[in-house]
Amino acid sequence: MEFTPEARLEVLRELLQKKFGPPDFHLCEANIYVIELKKSAVDLIDKRVFPGPDYPEIEMPGSDGFKGYLYVGYTQRSPRSQQLISTGLSPVEYRFKEEHKKGVMSAEVVQLHSLTDDYDSCGRNLTDKYGFKNVKNLYPNLGILDLEKLESWLGWALYNAGYWVWGPHAHKKEHQEKYGDFLGVAPFF
Protein backbone atom coordinates (compact mmCIF):
# COMPACT_ATOMS: atom_id res chain seq x y z
CA MET A 1 0.00 0.00 0.00
CA GLU A 2 1.29 3.45 -0.89
CA PHE A 3 1.58 5.53 2.28
CA THR A 4 -0.09 8.72 1.05
CA PRO A 5 -1.58 11.23 3.49
CA GLU A 6 -5.00 9.73 2.73
CA ALA A 7 -3.78 6.16 3.40
CA ARG A 8 -2.20 7.34 6.65
CA LEU A 9 -5.49 8.99 7.60
CA GLU A 10 -7.39 5.73 7.04
CA VAL A 11 -4.98 3.73 9.23
CA LEU A 12 -5.03 6.29 12.06
CA ARG A 13 -8.83 6.66 11.84
CA GLU A 14 -9.24 2.92 12.35
CA LEU A 15 -6.94 2.98 15.39
CA LEU A 16 -8.79 5.94 16.90
CA GLN A 17 -12.19 4.33 16.21
CA LYS A 18 -11.05 1.34 18.29
CA LYS A 19 -9.82 3.63 21.08
CA PHE A 20 -12.85 5.92 21.30
CA GLY A 21 -15.74 3.67 20.33
CA PRO A 22 -17.88 1.74 20.31
CA PRO A 23 -17.94 1.67 24.09
CA ASP A 24 -19.00 -1.29 26.15
CA PHE A 25 -21.34 1.07 27.95
CA HIS A 26 -23.15 4.17 26.77
CA LEU A 27 -22.39 7.35 28.66
CA CYS A 28 -22.79 9.32 25.47
CA GLU A 29 -23.64 8.31 21.93
CA ALA A 30 -21.97 10.55 19.41
CA ASN A 31 -21.10 10.50 15.75
CA ILE A 32 -18.56 12.57 13.84
CA TYR A 33 -19.56 13.19 10.26
CA VAL A 34 -18.18 14.74 7.07
CA ILE A 35 -20.15 16.82 4.54
CA GLU A 36 -18.84 17.73 1.10
CA LEU A 37 -19.14 21.42 0.27
CA LYS A 38 -19.42 23.34 -2.99
CA LYS A 39 -16.59 25.55 -4.17
CA SER A 40 -18.76 28.51 -3.11
CA ALA A 41 -17.86 27.64 0.51
CA VAL A 42 -14.87 29.95 -0.02
CA ASP A 43 -17.43 32.77 0.42
CA LEU A 44 -17.10 31.91 4.13
CA ILE A 45 -13.31 31.54 4.04
CA ASP A 46 -13.06 33.50 7.30
CA LYS A 47 -14.80 30.55 9.01
CA ARG A 48 -12.51 27.93 7.47
CA VAL A 49 -10.35 26.23 10.11
CA PHE A 50 -7.89 24.21 8.04
CA PRO A 51 -5.93 25.87 6.56
CA GLY A 52 -6.16 28.66 9.10
CA PRO A 53 -4.07 31.12 11.09
CA ASP A 54 -1.83 28.41 12.57
CA TYR A 55 -2.14 25.95 9.69
CA PRO A 56 -0.64 27.11 6.37
CA GLU A 57 -2.13 26.29 3.01
CA ILE A 58 -0.71 22.92 1.96
CA GLU A 59 -2.79 22.48 -1.18
CA MET A 60 -4.46 25.19 -3.22
CA PRO A 61 -7.63 24.72 -5.28
CA GLY A 62 -6.57 23.63 -8.74
CA SER A 63 -3.36 21.92 -7.62
CA ASP A 64 -2.92 18.19 -8.19
CA GLY A 65 -3.05 17.45 -4.45
CA PHE A 66 -6.19 19.47 -3.70
CA LYS A 67 -9.14 17.18 -2.90
CA GLY A 68 -12.03 19.54 -2.16
CA TYR A 69 -14.01 21.38 0.51
CA LEU A 70 -15.40 19.63 3.61
CA TYR A 71 -17.27 20.31 6.84
CA VAL A 72 -16.55 18.11 9.86
CA GLY A 73 -19.08 18.09 12.68
CA TYR A 74 -20.58 15.91 15.37
CA THR A 75 -23.92 15.07 16.90
CA GLN A 76 -24.67 13.56 20.28
CA ARG A 77 -28.28 12.76 19.46
CA SER A 78 -29.30 9.28 20.62
CA PRO A 79 -30.67 6.93 17.97
CA ARG A 80 -33.40 6.14 20.51
CA SER A 81 -34.66 9.74 20.74
CA GLN A 82 -38.31 10.33 19.89
CA GLN A 83 -37.32 12.74 17.11
CA LEU A 84 -35.29 10.08 15.34
CA ILE A 85 -37.78 7.31 15.91
CA SER A 86 -40.58 9.44 14.43
CA THR A 87 -38.53 10.45 11.35
CA GLY A 88 -36.73 7.16 10.74
CA LEU A 89 -33.46 9.06 10.27
CA SER A 90 -30.05 8.23 11.73
CA PRO A 91 -28.55 10.80 14.13
CA VAL A 92 -26.28 12.19 11.39
CA GLU A 93 -29.06 12.29 8.77
CA TYR A 94 -31.28 14.12 11.27
CA ARG A 95 -28.52 16.62 12.07
CA PHE A 96 -28.02 17.34 8.37
CA LYS A 97 -31.64 17.38 7.15
CA GLU A 98 -33.57 18.72 10.13
CA GLU A 99 -30.99 21.10 11.61
CA HIS A 100 -28.23 22.15 9.19
CA LYS A 101 -30.45 22.50 6.13
CA LYS A 102 -33.24 24.24 8.09
CA GLY A 103 -30.89 26.65 9.87
CA VAL A 104 -31.53 25.19 13.34
CA MET A 105 -28.29 25.12 15.36
CA SER A 106 -26.66 25.04 11.95
CA ALA A 107 -23.25 25.73 10.55
CA GLU A 108 -23.84 28.43 7.96
CA VAL A 109 -21.37 26.83 5.56
CA VAL A 110 -23.40 23.57 5.52
CA GLN A 111 -26.76 25.32 5.28
CA LEU A 112 -25.66 27.43 2.31
CA HIS A 113 -22.86 25.46 0.65
CA SER A 114 -23.36 21.70 1.07
CA LEU A 115 -22.74 20.02 -2.27
CA THR A 116 -26.42 19.00 -2.38
CA ASP A 117 -29.42 19.12 -0.05
CA ASP A 118 -29.35 15.33 0.16
CA TYR A 119 -27.20 13.67 2.83
CA ASP A 120 -26.83 10.49 0.77
CA SER A 121 -25.07 12.36 -2.03
CA CYS A 122 -22.94 14.82 -0.04
CA GLY A 123 -22.24 13.12 3.27
CA ARG A 124 -22.90 9.41 3.54
CA ASN A 125 -19.86 8.11 1.61
CA LEU A 126 -17.39 10.52 3.25
CA THR A 127 -18.85 9.86 6.69
CA ASP A 128 -18.69 6.11 6.15
CA LYS A 129 -15.08 6.42 4.99
CA TYR A 130 -13.72 8.99 7.47
CA GLY A 131 -16.31 9.56 10.20
CA PHE A 132 -16.62 7.99 13.64
CA LYS A 133 -19.60 6.14 15.03
CA ASN A 134 -20.68 5.76 18.63
CA VAL A 135 -17.82 7.80 20.05
CA LYS A 136 -17.56 7.89 23.80
CA ASN A 137 -17.20 11.31 25.37
CA LEU A 138 -16.86 9.92 28.84
CA TYR A 139 -17.06 12.81 31.26
CA PRO A 140 -17.63 16.19 29.56
CA ASN A 141 -18.53 17.74 32.94
CA LEU A 142 -15.03 16.80 34.18
CA GLY A 143 -13.30 18.19 31.12
CA ILE A 144 -12.63 14.89 29.36
CA LEU A 145 -13.60 16.04 25.91
CA ASP A 146 -12.40 13.33 23.55
CA LEU A 147 -15.29 13.89 21.12
CA GLU A 148 -14.37 17.50 20.39
CA LYS A 149 -10.68 16.61 20.14
CA LEU A 150 -11.44 13.76 17.77
CA GLU A 151 -13.54 16.10 15.60
CA SER A 152 -10.61 18.54 15.37
CA TRP A 153 -8.17 15.70 14.70
CA LEU A 154 -10.31 14.47 11.80
CA GLY A 155 -10.47 17.99 10.32
CA TRP A 156 -6.69 18.34 10.70
CA ALA A 157 -6.05 14.90 9.16
CA LEU A 158 -8.30 15.70 6.19
CA TYR A 159 -6.48 19.02 5.77
CA ASN A 160 -3.18 17.12 5.70
CA ALA A 161 -4.68 14.81 3.05
CA GLY A 162 -5.43 17.79 0.76
CA TYR A 163 -8.85 19.16 1.81
CA TRP A 164 -9.92 22.59 3.03
CA VAL A 165 -12.03 22.08 6.18
CA TRP A 166 -14.69 24.01 8.09
CA GLY A 167 -16.22 23.07 11.45
CA PRO A 168 -13.86 21.83 14.18
CA HIS A 169 -12.82 24.22 16.94
CA ALA A 170 -11.19 22.38 19.87
CA HIS A 171 -7.69 22.89 18.41
CA LYS A 172 -7.96 26.69 18.20
CA LYS A 173 -5.77 28.85 20.44
CA GLU A 174 -8.76 30.40 22.17
CA HIS A 175 -9.79 26.92 23.35
CA GLN A 176 -6.38 25.66 24.52
CA GLU A 177 -7.16 26.23 28.18
CA LYS A 178 -10.16 23.91 27.88
CA TYR A 179 -8.77 21.29 25.47
CA GLY A 180 -4.98 21.65 25.66
CA ASP A 181 -2.57 21.46 22.76
CA PHE A 182 -3.30 17.98 21.42
CA LEU A 183 -2.95 17.81 17.62
CA GLY A 184 0.09 15.74 16.73
CA VAL A 185 0.29 14.36 20.29
CA ALA A 186 -0.72 10.76 21.11
CA PRO A 187 -3.26 9.54 20.33
CA PHE A 188 -4.07 12.44 17.96
CA PHE A 189 -1.12 11.91 15.58
Q: Sign (positive/negative) of CA torsion 29, 32, 36, 39?
A: positive
pLDDT, tens only, 139-178: 555 555 678 899 999 999 999 999 999 999 999 999 888 8
Mean pLDDT on 70-99: 87
pLDDT at 161: 94
From the list 150, 182, 189, the residue with the least C-alpha distance to 167 is: 150
- Alpha helices in 48-169, H assignment, sequence order: 82-87, 91-94, 108-113, 119, 125-130, 146-160
Judged against a pLDDT cut of 90, whether residue 125 lies above it is answered with yes
pLDDT band at 188 (very low <50, low <70, confident <90, very high): confident
Whether the predicted pLDDT of 99 surpasses 60: yes
Helix (H, G, I), strand (E, B) or coil at 89: coil
pLDDT, average across residues 40-58: 94
20's enclosing H/E stretch is: helix 5-20
Q: What is the arithmetic mean of pLDDT over 21-37?
A: 74
Distance CA 33, CA 159 (A): 15
3 state DSSP class of 1: coil
- Residue ranges per structural domain of the chain: 5-179
What per-residue confidence (pLDDT) applies to 141?
53
Residue type, 148: E
The predicted structure's pLDDT at residue 126: 96
| Cα–Cα dist 85/90, whole Å | 9
Nearest Cα to Cα of residue 166 among 100, 97, 76? 100
Helix/strand/coil for 50: strand
- Give the span between the Cα atoms of 48 and 50, in whole angstroms: 6
Q: What is the pLDDT of residue 32?
A: 94
Q: How far apart are CA 22 and CA 91, in angstroms?
A: 15
Residue 23 predicted with pLDDT over 90: no
- Look at 22 and 172; give whichever has higher pLDDT: 172
pTM of the predicted model as reported, rounded to 2 decimal places: 0.88
What whole-number distance in Å separates Cα of residue 19 and Cα of residue 149?
13
